[in-house]
A and B are shown apart, each in its own frame.
Chain A
Amino acid sequence: MDHGYLENVAQENGLVNVSPYVKLAVGLGAILLSLVSPNWITPLFLTLTLGGAILLLARIDPGLYARLLLAPLSFAVFSVTAVILVTGGGEVFWAWQPVPGVALSVTSRSVLQGMLVFSRMLGGMSALFFIALTTPLTELFMVMRQCRFPTTLLNLAMMVYRSIFILADQVDQVMSAQRMRLGYSSPREAVQSFGMLCGAAFIASWEAGEDLLRAMDARCYAGRFAMLSESQPVEAGPLAAATAYLLVGSGLLLATLPGALSWGGV
C-alpha cells in the first residue's frame, strides 16, 4: 500500500544502484554550501541542479516533486514574511509601529535578507529531497552501522522503521472505514473520530510490540539485529561526478563572494 512516504519512491529510484556514501556526500555537501552562501546565487544553482538530478537521473515523477516543493511553502511564507518585517537597513519602502518600541518595516536590505533565507530553504530542501528520494533508509542504516553509530539507537531506529508500515496500513483501513461512515463530516465528529483512530492505533501498536517480542524471542534475539552488510560499492564514475558537482558549487560560492552585495547578498 502506498502511504505517500518518500521511502516508497526511494526504493525504486534511478540512482538506487549508486553508493549511499556518494549520494549522502552530494546531499550533505549541498546543504552545507547552501547554508554558508552569503547570497542567493549558490542556493538557486543547487535548487535547479539537484531538481534536475532528481527528475532526470533518479527519474522521480515531476508531479510528486512539484507537490514536495510546495509542502514547506506555508512555513516558508509565514517565516520569510516575519524575517522581512523585523530585519531592517537600507531604503525604507514601508513602515508601521503597532505599539511603542515595536517597529515593523520593509526595507531594501530586509527584502534581500528574505530572499536569501528563502533561497537557502529552497537549496536545503532540494538537498534533503535528493537524499530522501534517492537513498532508502535501509541503506542509511547500513551507513550508520559502518560509521559506528550507537547500537541502541540503531536498534530503536530499525524497530521504529519496521513498525511504521504495519501501523500505517491499520490506520489507513480504520480511517477509510470512518470516512465511509461520515466520521469526518463536522468538526466535532472529526475530533471524535480522530481520537478513536489514534486510540485504536496505539492499542494496535502495543499489541504489535508484544507480538514482535515473542517473534524475536523465538529467533534468539540477544540485543543486536542481524543486518545484511552488503551495500553498493563506491564507483569511480559517480564519485568523480559528485566531486565535480561539489567543486563547481564551491567555485560558484567563492566567485560570488567578493561582490556579495551586488549579486543580491546582504
Chain B
Amino acid sequence: MHIMEGFLPLEWCIAWWVLALPFLGWGFFRLRRVLDADREALPLLGVTGAFIFILSSLKLPSVTGSSSHPTGTGLSSICFGPGITSVVCLVVLLFQSLFLAHGGLSVLGANIISMGVVGPMAGYLVYRALRDSRVNVYMTVFLVCAVADICTYVTTSLELALAYPAAVGGVATSLGVFLGIFAVTQVPLAIVEGIVLALVFKYIIQLKPEILFRLRIFPERAITEARGGA
C-alpha cells in the first residue's frame, strides 16, 4: 500500500526519510558484502528487482472488487534478507513512482519504512521462526508474505495516523480509522498474495528446484519433501 505524493506534510516526509537512511545504509553494507563475495549476485538481484516490479504492476485477482497489487517484499526478504530487500525496495519504489505513478518522491522515505523495512523484517522473522520447523515450505511462504503485507499495511496506517491525529483520541483513534478504511482492500490482498506466492514456490520447486538449492533458503530436506508431496 503506497502513500501518494503530497499526502504527508513536509515535516513527516523528512522524518521518515531520516528514519529510512540508517536502514538503507545497513542494506548497502550487506549488499556490498554479498557482491564482494559473489559477483554473480548483481544480475540475479537485478532481475529479482525487476520481478518484484513486474509483480507489483500486475493486478491481483481481488475478492472485494478493488484494484490491488502484490508487493513481493515477502519473497525478497526470504531470498535476500531484510537488509538487501530495503535497497531493492528503494530502487523498485523509485521505478514504481516514475513508471506507474504509484507512490511518490517526497513520501519515498515513508514508503521505504513500511514496504522496505517493517514488512520485510516482520516477514523475515516469521521465515526464521518457521524455516527449520515442521511447518511445510508452502505454509511458511504463505505466512511470510501475508505477515509482511499486513505489517506494511499497519505501518502505513500508523504513518498516516501520526501525520493526521484525531481531534478526539489522538493518534490511536486516527490509527483505528485508517486501519478500518484500508482493511477492505489490504486484508484480502495479504491473503491472496500469500496464496499466490505459495503457488509460485510450488512451480519453482516442481520445475527448477536448483534455484532454491542455490539460494539456500530452505533445507534440502524440506524442498525434497515438498517436491515429493507436490
- Residues from chain B with a CB closer than 8 A to the CB of A171 are 54, 58
B5 touches A124 (CB 8 A): yes
The answer for the CA separation of A40 and B105 in the assembled complex, in Å, is: 20
In the bound complex, CA of A236 to CA of B95 (Å): 30
Q: Is the CB of A121 within 8 A of B5?
A: yes
**Is there an interface contact between B58 and A86, defined as CB atoms closer than 8 Å?**
no
Q: Does A147 contact B (CB under 8 A)?
A: no
Judged by a CB distance under 8 angstroms, whether B226 is at the interface is no
A14 CB to closest chain B CB, in angstroms? 18
Q: Could you tell me which B residues sit within 8 Å of A by CB distance?
A: 2-7, 9-10, 13, 28, 31-32, 35, 39-40, 42-51, 53-55, 57-58, 60-61, 63, 66-67, 70, 87-88, 90-92, 94-95, 97-101, 104-106, 160, 164-169, 173-174, 176-178, 181-182, 192, 195-204, 207-208, 211
A137: shortest Cβ distance to chain B, in Å?
6
- Chain A interfacial positions (CB closer than 8 Å to B): 3, 5-7, 28, 31-32, 34-36, 43, 68, 71-72, 74-76, 78-79, 81-83, 85-89, 101-105, 110, 113, 117, 120-125, 127-129, 131-132, 137, 140, 150, 152-153, 155-164, 166-168, 171, 184, 187, 190-192, 194-203, 205-206, 208-210, 212-213, 216, 223
Q: Which residue of B lies closest to A193 (CB)?
A: B61
Residue of chain A at shortest CB distance from B6:
A124
Known: A6-B100, A125-B104, A195-B199. A89 touches B167 (CB 8 A): yes
The 5 A-B residue pairs with the shortest CB-CB distance in the complex, in nearest-first order: A124-B6, A159-B46, A195-B199, A199-B203, A88-B167
5 A/B residue pairs, CB under 8 Å, sorted by A:
A82-B164, A132-B97, A132-B101, A160-B46, A194-B58
